[in-house]
Amino acid sequence: MENIIEIKNLYFSYVDTDNNGAVLDNINLDIKKGEFLCIVGHNGSGKSTLAKMLNGLLRPDKGTVCVNGIYTSDDKHLIDIRKTVGMVFQNPDNQIIASVVEEDVAFGPENLGCSPQESRRRVDQALSAVDMAEYKNTSPYKLSGGQKQRVAIAGVLAMRPQCIVFDESTAMLDPKGRKEVIATVNKLNKQGITVVLITHFMEEARFADRLCIMDNGKILKTDTPYNIFSDYELIENTGLTLPEPMKLIKALVDCGIKIDNKVFDEKDACAAIAEVLKGGAEK
Amino acid sequence: MLKDITFGQYVEADSIIHKLDPRIKILLLIAYIVFIFIVNNLFSIAFASVFILAVTILSKVPVKLFAKNIKAILPIIIFTAILNALYVGQGALVIHFWVINIYEGGIYRAVFMSLRIILLIIISALLTYTSTPTALTDAIESLLSPLQYIGLKNAVHIMALMMTIALRFIPTLIEETDKIMSSQKARGASLDSGSFKQKVKALLPVLIPLLSASIRRAYELADAMESRCYNGGEGRVRMKQMTLTLKDYIAIIVSVVFFAALIILNTFAV
């Protein structure tokens, strides 16, 4: 599969170029077109900094980030990069610009110089893609957190990006809002948009095609959620918590029970446990 | 409690005045103010009062709202009226009491000035009651746009964007102030007792977190705007283009006829 973003030997520090304060330390990562990549790490692991690298909000100190063949260090093509890679941030309140939903969604197309008719078309499409069409004349401050975040997603969608980066976009939401946003993310990915989801909720990571574990500015492992969830040592070392079904299986493994630990959700866990129980009955 | 504050004075109603292009409303407001100042006899100002009263009724904004506006500046109206009554010494002497002499011309003048101030208040309130803050912002941007030809293109765009963002963040900041006040109260701050000086001092622990949070917000907003391809005003095309409709032309024609009638009355009425 073709890569949409290629990161090579990326090094970055907020302070200076000494090797001490590295926030990102020799990152190598390829993001494939159409995939759902999840980046997980605890606070301060450098995952949000990495996100800002993807659309040129931050530039590498050393190494390169390349989006569809354009380097983010190239000032002249920054707009092209941002048109390709959209970004949804953590706090919905701090990314909505206008006092009316549809005018906020129009901000992107307006910046791109779309004609009023084209902007209107994109706004209507983007709002219906996130199921917010009926709120187009509402004030954003009257919406719930999940709804605001969906408006923010619509604002990015209206630019027609190929890839959307979600930088902890669910962290400030209640469970209901989180569910709405994750459902929207999954839907967009199915429509062919490359998704990079940055989170510290392992629950959300299980929908991903690939899971990337970050710690201390380094990528420790990139693999399928299956393989990562069963790598207990890695999970423990990075201070992450497993989703509930995997926790149960891990507890069983810790008790010395031989069980298939490549489980994914409640259903898999049930099947694995049933397998063990059946085996016991036969013996 | 702070949440209930409404910003702007917009009153939702389905009237022809509400539907007028806000640019036309602003320009007409200026014209009305100029003409109300031009006319100088009681007869014309009475005619203007009747006309503006009709427009007010047409706007479907509750009359008591206008009454509230007038009440707010009632002291000024009374003060002006008394001053005029005392100092204009034309016509027959009407009242003579100790050192006070009030002439016919004085009374005439007092009524005229009061009416003029009341009309100015009503006509200005009519604009803010019938247009949303967003519409007014857009209108101001559009009206200022000729400035771009004298090299101020970015200034107009930046001002409009600043107004838009300010309007957008008013409810957010009010909510935040509320939260900070509650959390400072929970820590034992007494925000509404003590002398004026103590009250001002007590506000510091509210204002400082509010300011630092706003700066953080500003940084995040800047990132979000850049991510959405914001690149200054260059090449930006607004989705909502304001266009004049039949209603706007009718409003202009009616107003011009009114102005003409006013001038004629003002010149020939004795």
pLDDT tens digits, B36-64? 998 888 888 888 999 999 999 988 888 88
Is B205 buried (19+), middle (13-18) or exposed (0-12) by CB count in 10 A? middle
Query: B42-58 and B104-130 are packed helices; what angle lies between their axes, rounded to 10 degrees?
Result: 20
CA trace torsion B166, B168, B169, B171 (10° rounding): 120
Task: Judge whether residue A11 has pLDDT over 50.
Answer: yes
The two structure tokens encoding residue A227: 């393989």
What 3 state SS string does chain B have? Answer: CHHHCCCCCCCCCCCHHHHCCHHHHHHHHHHHHHHHHHCCCHHHHHHHHHHHHHHHHHCCCCHHHHHHHHHHCHHHHHHHHHHHHHHCCCCCEEEEECCEEEEHHHHHHHHHHHHHHHHHHHHHHHHHHHCCHHHHHHHHHHHHHHHHHHCCHHHHHHHHHHHHHHHHHHHHHHHHHHHHHHHHHHCCCCCCCCCHHHHHHHHHHHHHHHHHHHHHHHHHHHHHHHHCCCCCCCCCCCCCCCCCCHHHHHHHHHHHHHHHHHHHHHHHCC
CA trace torsion B218, B223, B226, B230 (10° rounding): -20
CB pairs under 8 A between A and B: 97
| Partner-chain contact B236 A94, CB within 8 Å | no
Q: Which residue has the higher pLDDT, A258 or A24?
A: A24
Decide if A223 touches B, using CB distance below 8 A: no
Decide if B172 touches A, using CB distance below 8 A: yes
The two structure tokens encoding residue A239: 């201070």
Chain B CB contacts of A114 under 8 Å are 237, 239
Decide if A100 touches B, using CB distance below 8 A: yes
- Distant-in-sequence contacts of B79-86, Cβ < 8 A, 24+ apart: B80/B110, B80/B113, B80/B114, B80/B117, B81/B110, B81/B111, B81/B113, B81/B114, B82/B110, B84/B109, B84/B110, B84/B113, B85/B109, B85/B110
CB contact residues (below 8 A), chain B span 94-133, against chain A:
133
Is A41 buried (19+), middle (13-18) or exposed (0-12) by CB count in 10 A? buried
Decide if B237 touches A, using CB distance below 8 A: yes
How much is the pLDDT for A157?
A: 94
| Partner-chain contact A111 B229, CB within 8 Å | yes
| Partner-chain contact A113 B235, CB within 8 Å | yes
User: ipTM value of the model?
Assistant: 0.85
Task: Judge whether residue A35 has pLDDT over 90.
Answer: yes
Chain B residue with minimal CA distance to A78? B229
For chain B, domain boundaries: 2-131+244-268, 143-227
| Partner-chain contact A93 B224, CB within 8 Å | no
Decide if B240 touches A, using CB distance below 8 A: yes
Chain B residue with minimal CA distance to A54? B227
| Partner-chain contact B165 A123, CB within 8 Å | no
| Partner-chain contact B228 A159, CB within 8 Å | yes
- By Cβ distance, the residue of B217, B228, B237 closest to A116 is B237
Give me the phi and psi of A263, to 5 degrees please: -100, 170
pLDDT tens digits, A222-250? 988 888 877 888 888 887 777 777 788 88
The CA distance from A136 to the nearest CA of chain B, in Å, is 13
Chain A residue with minimal CA distance to B239? A116
Decide if A113 touches B, using CB distance below 8 A: yes
pLDDT tens digits, A166-188? 999 988 888 899 989 999 999 99
CA trace torsion A206, A210, A216, A218 (10° rounding): 170
What is the distance between the terminal CA atoms of chain B, rounded to a whole angstrom?
A: 56
Q: Which CATH class is domain A3-242?
A: alpha beta
Q: Hey, what amino acid is at A260?
A: D
Decide if B217 touches A, using CB distance below 8 A: yes
Chain B residue with minimal CA distance to A111? B236
pTM summary value: 0.80
Decide if B215 touches A, using CB distance below 8 A: no
pLDDT tens digits, B211-224? 999 999 999 999 99
Chain B CB contacts of A123 under 8 Å are 239
Decide if B241 touches A, using CB distance below 8 A: yes
pLDDT tens digits, B95-126? 777 777 778 888 888 999 999 999 999 998 88
Chain A CB contacts of B164 under 8 Å are 97-99
Task: Judge whether residue B153 has pLDDT over 90.
Answer: no
pLDDT tens digits, A55-104? 999 999 889 999 998 999 888 888 999 999 999 999 989 999 888 899 89
The CA distance from A82 to the nearest CA of chain B, in Å, is 6
| Partner-chain contact B226 A57, CB within 8 Å | yes
For chain A, domain boundaries: 3-242, 243-283
The two structure tokens encoding residue B105: 């011309």
